[in-house]
Amino acid sequence: MSREEIRKALIQGLGSWTSGQMLAESLKISRAAVWKQVQSLRSEGYEIESSKRGYRLASLPDLLSEDLVKDGLKTEFVGRTVISHPSLASTNAEAKRIAPPAENGTVVVAEVQTAGRGRMDRSWHSPKGGVWMSVILKPKIPPALASRVNMAAAVAVARALEGLYDLDVRIKWPNDLLVGERKICGILTEIEAEMDSLNYAVVGIGINANIEAARLPEDWRATSISRELGRDVLRAELVQRVLLEVERASEEMTVSFDRVCREWMARSATLGQRVRIITRIGEFEGRAEALEADGALLVRKDDGTGERIIAGDCTHLRPA
Ligand code: BT5
């Protein structure tokens, strides 16, 4: 317990000195025991200076540890349980493994993913500095409405990035978040369902947070928060905001989906664009004409016929 008290005291006194003697006295432990806890916090990544005056935390560490994500988290159920790993193959795979007995809103987060996954078995590049996380949600909706969870997640992350960093975030169909024409976040929602009930949804969110442009291959047309802002951000704060927005959007989704849906459409970067669509059965070009409440995209082909796409890939083409 003294670890947590020492950690909290150092965070409270951020940038100023806290006497080791006083810490020892108030916790009724020896100064050597305080030192041991400080050493262990240092090994976790906390930069703690020491001098005759005591200990000083230089700045909040940019870590996604359970306590930093939970410190001051303002949600009711999303993030009540946070499981943080230094490295995982994929947070979605881990979340699916633990989902059946897990409580609604459980979060799995990793500093690094070694086998991050995109849609359709593609891989997702997940180096240090990003936010790679999965939220287990158990909404009481029929499986036919599961696409709503995916749409709510996109709206939630867009609200978080806009609210914290004033970024203009748009949604490229089906669910990429773009700043300008560059992808800053990818979302992969996976579900487990019976005929008439959704057991759980795992919402995988990958945000390029503090990642240098040079580490994102140019042909992906990707960007990161640090690239857009010209500075690094505190990722734990970002995770907290995303969790808060995911909770709000998931509640909105069950009360009245209409608002989430309208915002999802209003944020669309795809509507009105000339697009190339690739589905499992073929590919074609046309104009993205409308979005529907179930997440489908309506494309007007060059021969005038309309096509309703539920799943597939979409490339924005430059106007001819
Ligand atoms: C996605 O797939 O956009 C969904 C990505 C979801 C990632 C999260 S991270 C936490 C959770 N755990 C997981 O294992 N996954 C989720 P898709 O639309 O298929 O995009 C994949 C394509 O984007 C790749 O083929 C690359 O071209 C490109 N790409 C890969 N890594 C990227 C990155 N970090 N930033 C931007 N583009 C990337």
| CA-91 nearest atom, ligand 1 | 12
Task: State in Å: Cα 122 to ligand 1 middle.
Answer: 7
Mutational pocket test of ligand 1: of 83, 117, 124, the residue with most ligand atoms within 8 Å of the beta carbon: 124
Distance 280 CA to ligand 1 centre (A): 19
Confidence of residue 151 (pLDDT cuts 50, 70, 90): very high
**CB distance 115 to ligand 1 below 6 Å:** no
Q: What is the pLDDT of residue 102?
A: 98
Residue 201 pLDDT: 98
What are the CA-CA distances from residue 280 to residues 270, 306, 311 (Å)? 20, 18, 9
Average pLDDT on 206-210 reads: 98
Tell which atom from ligand 1 comes closest to the C-alpha of 92: 12
pLDDT attached to residue 320: 55
Ligand 1 contacts CB of residue 220 (under 6 A): yes
Mean of pLDDT values over 126-150: 96
User: CB of 111 closer than 6 A to ligand 1?
Assistant: no
- Residue 33, pLDDT > 80, answer yes
| Per-residue pLDDT, 159 | 98
**Does residue 134 line the site of ligand 1, with CB under 6 A?**
yes
Quick check: 152 pLDDT over 60?
Answer: yes
Sign of CA dihedral 130, 136, 142, 144: positive
116 CA → ligand 1 middle, Å = 7
Beta strands per DSSP E along the chain: 48-51, 54-57, 82-88, 107-113, 131-137, 169-172, 176-179, 182-193, 198-207, 274-279, 282-291, 297-301, 306-309, 313-317
Between vectors from CA 43 to CA 215 and to CA 164, what angle results, nearest 5°? 50
Q: Give percent of the chain with pLDDT exceeding 90.
A: 92
Express each pLDDT in 298-309 by its tens digit.
Answer: 999 989 999 999
Kindly give the number of the ligand 1 atom that is closest to the alpha carbon of 224: 35
Residue 207, pLDDT above cutoff 70: yes
- Please determine, for residue 45, whether its predicted confidence score (pLDDT) is greater than 70: yes
pLDDT top residue among 108 and 320 = 108
pLDDT at residue 285 greater than cutoff 60? yes
141 C-beta neighbours (distance < 10 Å), count? 18
Mean pLDDT of 250-279: 95
Distance separating alpha carbons of residues 159 and 181, to the nearest angstrom:
18
Q: Which tens digits make up the pLDDT trace of 224-256?
A: 999 999 999 999 999 999 999 999 999 999 888
Tokens, residue 40: 């262990």
Any atom of ligand 1 within 6 Å of the Cβ of 117: yes
Kindly compute the dihedral angle of the four CA atoms of residues 230, 170, 244, 89, in this order, to the nearest 10 degrees: -80
Per-residue pLDDT at 254: 87
Asked if 308 and 298 touch (Cβ cutoff 8 Å), the reply is yes
Any atom of ligand 1 within 6 Å of the Cβ of 119: yes
Identify residue 232 by its one-letter amino acid code. D
pLDDT at position 2: 87
Q: Is the CB of 188 under 6 A from ligand 1?
A: yes
Q: What is the Å distance from ligand 1's center to 184 Cα?
A: 10
Instruction: Please state whether beta strands 282-291 and 297-301 pair in parallel, antiparallel, or not at all (unpaired).
Output: antiparallel
What digits encode the pLDDT tens for the residues 49-105?
999 999 999 988 999 999 999 998 999 999 999 999 999 999 999 999 999 999 999
Q: Which amino acid residue places its CA nearest to atom 9 of ligand 1?
A: 206
Q: Which atom of ligand 1 is nearest to the CA of 211?
A: 34
